[in-house]
């Protein structure tokens, strides 16, 4: 699945605010399998970009196209199918069900569109150091643990595009590198594109393209 970004600009940005951007008001095509890192300082629209690409918000000018089909003209059923079968995301605010267990949070995603067998949940949890948390209530977990839960949840489904919004902000370097290794393995397995937005460049992400949302 290719992604085209054409003259995109948040409705709350002026054109002058986008003058130093590699993305806003540009013409971009991201090919299947690319590893794209978006460096985005605070206030430059990083989370908005991820939400636009996931179809959560449409308060922008310009166009986003998946395989030449415009996102804002996609009906709700087709958008739901995109999210189930083609586009996965790790949100900055994680969006977990805090009253449910860790396992329930991950398993509900797997059941909606299973890519892995259920045994992979415990395998991934073990690799990321949260195996003993699977039966814990999600809201009682630390932010770092919740971030790893969000990552595993996103990897349960099939995807051609994986969107990451500051996925390691609550992790130390060691745990962040372990999580990135797992993400890259899963993306390679699917021959998927990664669009990874963060405040600064991440040295252990082997990007094929580096874009600055706003060059300071």
pLDDT higher than 90, residue 17 = no
Q: Which domain holds residue 117?
A: 3-212
Alpha carbon distance 66, 5 (integer Å): 9
Name the residue among 141, 195, 205 with its Cα closest to residue 173: 205
- Beta-carbon contacts of residue 146 (< 8 Å; ≥ 6 apart): 94, 96, 138, 170
pLDDT tens for 98-154 read: 999 999 999 999 999 889 999 999 999 999 999 999 999 999 999 999 999 999 999
pLDDT tens for 42-98 read: 889 999 999 999 999 999 999 999 999 999 998 999 999 999 999 999 999 999 999
Alpha carbon distance 62, 55 (integer Å): 14
CATH of the domain at 156: 3.40.50.300
Name the least confident of 14-18, 26-30, 83-87. 14-18
pLDDT higher than 90, residue 19 = no
For the chain, what is the domain count?
A: 1
Distances from the Cα of 49 to the Cα of 32, 165, 178, 201, angstroms: 19, 9, 26, 17
CA 92 to chain centre: 9
Band (pLDDT 50/70/90 cuts) for residue 216 is low
pLDDT higher than 80, residue 215 = no
């Amino acid at each position: 699945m290719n992604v085209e970004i054409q003259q995109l600009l948040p409705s709350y940005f002026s054109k002058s605010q986008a003058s130093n951007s590699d993305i806003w008001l540009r013409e971009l095509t991201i090919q299947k399998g690319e590893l794209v890192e978006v460096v985005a300082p605070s206030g430059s629209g990083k989370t908005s970009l991820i939400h636009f690409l996931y179809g959560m918000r449409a308060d922008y000018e310009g166009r986003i196209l998946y395989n030449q089909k415009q996102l804002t003209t996609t009906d709700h059923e087709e958008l739901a199918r995109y999210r189930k079968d083609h586009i996965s995301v790790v949100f900055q605010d994680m969006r977990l069900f805090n009253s449910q267990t860790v396992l329930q949070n991950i398993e509900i995603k797997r059941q909606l569109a299973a890519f892995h067998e259920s045994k992979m949940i415990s395998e991934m949890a073990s690799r990321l150091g949260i195996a003993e948390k699977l039966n814990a209530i999600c809201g009682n977990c630390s932010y770092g643990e919740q971030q790893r839960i969000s990552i595993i949840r996103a990897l349960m489904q099939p995807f051609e595009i994986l969107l990451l919004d500051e996925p390691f902000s609550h992790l130390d370097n060691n745990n962040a590198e372990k999580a990135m290794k797992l993400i890259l393995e899963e993306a390679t397995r699917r021959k998927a594109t990664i669009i990874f937005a963060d405040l600064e460049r991440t040295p252990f992400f082997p990007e094929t393209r580096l874009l600055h949302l706003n060059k300071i």
